Amino acid sequence: MEIDWTTITCFVIGLFALAGFFKGWWKEAITTVLLAILVFFLANPDIAQAVIDGANSVIAMVWSWFNTTNPPPQFDAGSTTTWLVVLIIFIVISILIGRMMLPSGIRRAGFAYEARPMGSIFGGLLGAFNGFLIINLIREYIDGRNLPSGGIPTEIALSGAQSTGRIASSGVTITATDVSTFTILDSYMPWIIMGLGLIVLIALLRSRVGLHSKNGFRKIEYKEPYGYKKVNYSSKQG
């Protein structure tokens, strides 16, 4: 079976661009920051290994509290599956943070935030960029060459150095055509992505969180991000 990698890439980018248009830039920016962290791990396998080892230590400690005789589940830093799971977890975390910090539906508090036109446009652009990062992260995880220890041989392999890649799984051969030779790890690209992630993180914090001084004390206040409007429950009902 053949799949067109370029078509899949365009589909993923378009899907995330559409989602970002409806969510607005602030929520998409959370995903951008987390994806930039994953790119950082790919560019620094030793740090990625240390993070996974730390997570395994925490899992082992919590597991020991239950006094079970079974060995604790452990992540393998060189496994494709491990990083695909981490990618999914990061996306879920970004969704939860977005809903908690910027609710889009009417909550018990009686208000919600809706994206304005400019917020939606920027959200669509960031969403497209996130889709581009996600599909390329998946490609790097399948390839495995930048995972700690160079990756562990699995049933899935993808050649990213040619225009045609071949994926084999459970005796079924899947050929991915039109696989670009460009990757997010080429040259200075990882550092550009990480730098953009840092800029987006600063924009996230400055647009939503502020410090207010009163009677000699500093108090954290939450602001309405650019490109959003706060809608009260009463106005929605009216």
pLDDT: which is higher, 169 or 104: 104
| DSSP tag of 144 | -
pLDDT: which is higher, 67 or 238: 67
pLDDT of residue 4: 79
Closest CA to 191 of 8, 28, 39: 39
Q: What is the mean pLDDT of residues 64-87?
A: 86
Q: Retrieve residue 219's tokens.
A: 């108090």
Closest CA to 90 of 115, 45, 125, 55: 55
